[in-house]
Structure 1
Amino acid sequence: MRTRLTQRIHARLEAWFPEKRLFLRSDEETRFIRLKSETQLVAWAGVSIIVAWTIVATAILLMDSIGAGNFRAQAQRDQLLYEQRLNALSEERDLRAGEALAAQQRFSTALDQISMMQTELLRTEERRRELGAALDTVQTTLRDTMQEREAARAELASIADATNGQGSVAQTSEVTNDTLDLLATALADTAAERDQIASDAAFALDHAAELELELRLLEEKNDQIFRQLEEAMLVSVEPLEKMFRNAGLNPDSLISSVRRGYSGTGGPLTPLQFSTNGGEPDPDASRANRIIDRMDEINLYRIAAERAPFDIPVKANFRYTSGFGPRWGRMHSGTDFAGPVGTPIYSTADGVVTHAGWSSGYGRLIKIQHDFGIETRYAHLNAIRVSVGERVSRGERIGDMGNSGRSTGPHLHYEVRVGGNAVNPMIYIRAGQDVF
């Protein structure tokens, strides 16, 4: 059975590949090589495979070349878009900085105006107190004068009765004239003093009305200034709170932590004290103190922002090559920024260097410990410019981009870890770009 099947296959092959003989002749003898159908089939299959492989490889190279060109063009477009966004963010940051500076200047001006108003209020209060004391004195003097006049009348009546019963007419007339002259003089002085007191009282009342109008105008102006300051504080604090919340941080706990580290008191942010003469708390003082508290809160937010990694580690041109998350079946714990070797790398927040050296797959690695349990890592560096134990500031250059460790090209592998767990660094970077 096998023989017949073999014969049939051979016959079919003979039809496609007939047997050939290749003669090789020399000076002494002639040889030939017989090429069977099976041999020709194997040779043809081998040649076909080589040709097919050549065609496929050429096509792959062409497709890869075309794809690489498209990728480079897309990378250039992405770089252009990112540069435009960086420019827009820089302009917005400058605008925010200008607004913050203007708000601070307005606040300083408002504090000066509040101080002037406080002085004016104290002066007005002193005037009122003096006018009240003057009115009390006038009333007391007028009352004493009226009593003296009544006493003089009673004394005149008693003298008249006594002279009628005891002395002569001449003596009585003389005494009476003297007494009347004395009384007339006293009454004239009393009337003049009364008129002067009445005039002073009328002037005091008119001046008090003017002071009351002036005080009301000052209160309205003061209220307008306070409203502007309160709106400025609200506009300044809300973006900072949003930045921390977008990064997954609790603003209240961060502010409490910073306040414990900066617990000194005194200076321009000391609460204001207004004289109330033992009455209810002054509403202007309460509003001013609330604004001062908001200013203190903004300052604490600024300190906290310097201690959390809201900055970007690469300032020069770069492109994102790999983000946070699973990659090739493994967890990629950071974000990759690709650029030329030697590109400056900057610290994204204030902190202390805890590692500066070689670390297996990371290559040259820098670890910085920040407040709030946050750590940042900068891997695959070409050069390290800090040492262990050194305290660095936000925006300080700490190394150069490189290709050390397990890396396929020059780039920075940047990580953010909170409590030892890796989190997406872009959460902090995007949150910071919305404010700074």
Structure 2
Amino acid sequence: MRSRMAIRIHTVLERFFPERRVFLRSDSDTRFIRLRPGVQVLGFLGASSIVAWAIIATAILLMDSIGSGNFREQAKRDQRTYEARLNFLAAERDTRAEEAIAAQERFNTALQQISTMQSELLTSETRRRELETGIEVIQTTLRRTMKERDSARKSLNETQLAMAETGAQGASVGGSPAMDGAISALQGALADTAAERDKIIADAQDALHEADEMAFKIKIMQDQNDQIFRQLEDAMTISVKPLDKMFKAAGMNTDSILKQVRRGYSGQGGPLTPLTFSTKGEEPSADTKRANRILNQMDRLNLYRIAATKAPFAVPVKSSFRFTSGFGYRRDPKTGGRRLHKGVDFAGPVGTPLYATADGVVVHASWSSGYGRLVKIQHEFGIETRYAHMNKIRVKVGQRVSRGQRIGDMGASGRVTGPHLHYEVRVGGKAVNPMIYIKAANNVF
């Protein structure tokens, strides 16, 4: 059975691959190699496999090349989009900063106005109280004068009755000189009393008119104060809320931060001191409470501004740069393995200026293994920033730096593939994404 099957297969192969002989001739001998159908089939299959492998490999290389080109183009498009977004955010940050400065100037002007208006209001209130006291004195004098007038009239009536009873006797013997003198004295007293009464009434009317005018002026001043208070409250809301939102977006406890800053800036006095008018044991007025609320908001705004300079809300590179790598796990450009990238990378030319992102103290400024030339700055609130792969370091250990101060130049020292800045933010020794702080400050600075 096997012989028949082999004969059939051999017959079929003979049709397509007939037996061939390859002659090898030399000077003294001639030999040949017989190529049976089976050997030819194996050779054909081997050659076909090699050709197919070459075709497939070429196709894979072409597809990979095309895919890589598309990926690079996409990366370039993403880079251009990101750079345009960063430029837009930088312009918007500058606009917000200018608006904040203008709002601060308007706020200072309004504060001066409210101080002046408050002084005028206190003076008007004192004047009004004096007028009320004068009116009370005038009214008391008027009541006393009216009583004296009524008493004089009663005396006059009694005298007239007495004169009527003695009229007949007075007609026969003539008027008594004493009686005539008493009548004249009474008439003079009545005239003086009436004149004094008229003068007091006129003075009272003038005082009431002046009090009405003063009340009208006080009402106008109160309306002006209310308008100024509203403007100040709106300005405080516009200024404080973005800062509060910025700190919360960065995951920072605002109450704890403000307490910590307040401990370092605990002096008092000047225009931000709460109002403490003497109220004779009474509750402060509504305007006083309102002014104190605004002053408290001003204090909160100033504390926020101080805290903002002590946290890394700025970008360490102000010149043109390319954002090449973000925070998180990535493929290591050196080994090809997967590892955590604990910061963000900003690529640019060698020598690009690098700046501190917050106020702090330099705790490291030298070479550090794979980081190359490294600067570490310790900030408030347990925050530390790191600036790696520098070409040149421009600060020393123990030096106190401010936000925006130049600390070094971009370079390619340490374990790198090209010149760039590796920027880290660590809170309590743990690396966090620096973009949390940078993005949180986009709408504020």
Q: TM-score range by the shorter chain?
A: 0.7 to 0.9
Partner of residue 80, structure 2? 80
- Which position in structure 1 is the counterpart of 2:312? 309
Whether 2:281 is the aligned partner of 1:272: answer no
Q: Which runs of 5+ in 1 are unaligned?
A: 1-10
What is the total number of aligned residue pairs between the two structures? 418
Query: Deviation of residue 422 (structure 1)?
Result: 0.8
Which of 363, 371, 394 is matched with 1:362 structurally? 371
CA distance in 2, matches of 1:50, 1:311: 60
Greater alpha carbon shift after TM alignment, 46-55 vs 123-132: 46-55
Query: Structure 2: which amino acid aligns with 1:254?
Result: I
Verify the 8 A CA contact 2:21 2:32 in the aligned structure 1: no
Deviation of 1:219 (Å): 1.8
Q: Structure 1 residue 147: deviation in Å?
A: 4.7
* Percent pairwise identity: 61
Q: CA deviation at 1:36?
A: 10
Which residue in 2 is equivalent to 1:175? 178
In the TM superposition, residue 334 of structure 1 has moved relative to its aligned partner by 1.3
Aligned amino acid, residue 94 of structure 1: D
Give 1:205 shift.
1.9
Whole-Å separation in 2 of the counterparts to 1:21 and 1:300:
100
Residues 326, 345 of structure 2: 8 Å contact kept = yes
1:319 aligns with 2:322: yes
Aligned twin of 2:426:
417
Residue type of the alignment partner of 1:368: I
TM-score, normalising length: structure 2: 0.80
Structure 1 range deviating more: 149-158 or 196-205? 149-158
TM-aligned CA distance change 1:197 to 1:428, over 3 Å: same
Deviations 1:149-186 (A, max 9, x none): 5665677769998xx99xx9789711121122222111
Aligned equivalent of 1:4? none
How far apart, CA to CA, are the structure 2 residues paired with 1:33 and 1:306?
Answer: 95
- Alpha-carbon separation, structure 2, partners of 1:344 and 1:56: 50
> What residue is the counterpart of 2:246 in the other structure?
243
Match of 2:187 in 1: 184
SS of 1:382 mapped into structure 2 = strand
CA contact (8 A) 1:336 1:413 kept: yes
Task: Give the structure 2 partner of residue 337 of structure 1.
Answer: 346
- How far apart are residue 68 of structure 1 and its match? 5.7
CA distance in 2, matches of 1:333, 1:20: 72
Are 2:327 and 2:341, in contact at CA under 8 Å, matched by a contact in 1? yes
Deviations 1:293-343 (A, max 9, x none): 111111111111111111111222222222212223322211122222222
* Residue 100 (1) aligns with residue 109 (2): no
**What RMSD over aligned residues (CA atoms) do the two structures have, in Å?**
3.9
The answer on whether the counterparts of 2:388 and 2:423 sit within 8 Å (CA) in structure 1 is yes
Which residue pairs with 2:139 in the alignment? 139
- Which residue of 284, 287, 304 corresponds with 2:287? 284
Match of 1:385 among 394, 400, 425: 394
Partners in 2 of 1:381 and 1:32 — Cα distance?
A: 78
CA 1:159–1:213 in 2, change beyond 3 Å: closer, same or farther?
Answer: closer
Say if 1:207 and 1:153 are closer, same or farther in 2 by CA, change over 3 A: closer
Q: Which stretch of the first structure deviates more once superposed, 377-386 or 316-325? A: 316-325
Amino acid at match of 2:199: Q
C-alpha separation in 1, matches of 2:34 and 2:362: 77
Question: Matched residue of 2:260: which SS?
Answer: helix
**Greater shift in the superposed pair: 102-111 or 289-298:** 102-111
Q: Structure 2: how far apart are the matches of 1:431 and 1:74?
A: 27
Q: Is the 8 A contact 1:343 1:400 kept in 2?
A: yes
Change (3 A) 1:375 1:220: same
What is the CA deviation profile of residues 201-242 of structure 1, one whole-angstrom value per residue up to 9, with x for unaligned ones? 122222222322332232223222212221221121111111
Query: Match of 2:442?
Result: 433
8 Å CA contact 2:23, 2:30 repeated in 1: no
Of residues 258, 277, 290, the one that matches 1:255 is 258
